[in-house]
Amino acid sequence: MKHHPKVITFGLTCMLFTGCASGLNSVQTSEYKTWEAKGLLVKDKDPGTAAALGILPGGGSFYTGNIGLGMVNLLMWPASILWDPISGSNGAKSDNYFATKTVVAKKQTAEISELDDKLRLKQINTEEYVMAKRNIEKKYSADN
């Protein structure tokens, strides 16, 4: 059986772009774990479900909203079951990371705004303000 070079090149290119989906970088992974430990992680997508669906043709990618990758994985099935579970799980974690980042920023901004109002209305003094603001920043921080 002879394989056409263009077909092989296309297949390898698809594997490169779909199979090597790394998800979050090391800093984002650290932030993800910190938010998870603090109970702040927004779970829009379940990484386990995404991985399980990755066994189906393009399922992991479709679940996480990566339609283009899902189509490539669908075309590359059954070979795509080697990478789509990982790609799907990474996609779910990425969705959760960015959803969490948005929600955390909004909550932190709202709490600091409320604190600013208390200072302006002289319900708290400057020292209380500084301490409370530090606590809010620590509460929502992605740093350990």
Q: What is the pLDDT of residues 24-65, one digit of tens each?
A: 999 999 999 999 999 999 999 999 999 998 888 888 888 888
Q: Which of these, 81, 45, 82, lies nearest to 66 by C-alpha position? A: 45
The Cα–Cα gap between 9 and 104 comes to 43
Helices (H) and strands (E) in the chain, counts: 7, 0
Tokens of 119: 């200072």
pTM of the model: 0.76
Q: Please state the rounded mean pLDDT for residues 117-138.
A: 95
Between residues 127 and 11, the one the model is more confident about: 127
Name the amino acid, one letter, at 9.
T
Reported confidence tier of residue 112, pLDDT bands at 50, 70, 90: very high
Q: Which of these, 73, 63, 64, 85, lies nearest to 18 by C-alpha position? A: 73
Tens digits of per-residue pLDDT, 60-88? 888 888 888 888 888 888 888 888 888 88
Q: Which of these, 6, 16, 8, 33, lies nearest to 80 by C-alpha position? A: 16
The Cα–Cα gap between 99 and 89 comes to 15
Q: Which of these, 93, 92, 90, lies nearest to 19 by C-alpha position? A: 90
Which pLDDT does position 104 carry in this prediction?
Answer: 94
Helix pair angle (84-120, 67-76), 10° resolution: 170
| Contact call for residues 123 and 137 (beta carbons, < 8 A) | no
Which pLDDT does position 69 carry in this prediction?
Answer: 84
